[in-house]
Amino acid sequence: MEGSVLNIVILLAVLLFSMSIHEMMHALTSDWLGDDTARLQGRITLNPIRHIDPFFTVLLPLLLLVSGSPILFGAAKPVQVNFNRLRHGAWGGALVGMIGPITNLAIASIAAMLFSSFNPEIGSTLYQVFLLTIVLNVGLAIFNSIPWPPLDGSRLLYAFAPQGLKDYMESIERAGLAGLAIFIFLFYYFGSSIQDLMIKLIHILAPNLVF
């Protein structure tokens, strides 16, 4: 199997695995805090079919990989949460939101520890599995932590933001595609800073990883 094809297969496998855990933890946490919406929709599962969004889960990461983008990310089908039903108010919503990036960071950390233990040969299939697992999950953790609605990081900002900022964030969510267009512009503007943060975090977790 050609190296590039193998990398795509590994990427898709890692992406589906990581996003399934990410979304399951959103659903599990919201259920634990009092909202059973996600549980009733069958989202407390590792079955990737329940979490796949055709564009954001499959096509977008593939396009980024093929185009040689320095940043890899994607998104699953959002877990529906009724934040008004959660215990602890906005802080419950913050926990439901941030459990996703925390999960990705945990996956990257575990993969980094295993990478150090196995010390696979550069260029081997096992090396690529660890590399893509660490890089992708660090990227997902950082990207989803950005406090821009409806990303996970916005739920943390909602918890302590003044009412004026909350109203502005809610207007962004209501704007739909217009809000997304603004985010894409800002994301590319600050893309180099995000990439630098990713590289620093990856080096902290796996100092010997070459990518």
Active-site amino acid positions: 23
DSSP 8-state code for residue 50: G
Q: Do the beta carbons of residue 78 and residue 41 sit within 8 Å?
A: no
**What is the tally of helices (H) and strands (E) in the chain?**
9, 0
Q: 176, exposed or middle or buried, with CB in 10 Å at 0-12, 13-18, 19+? A: exposed
Distance between first and last Cα of the chain: 21
DSSP 8-state code for residue 115: H
Contact residues for 4 (Cβ-Cβ < 8 A; gap 6+): none
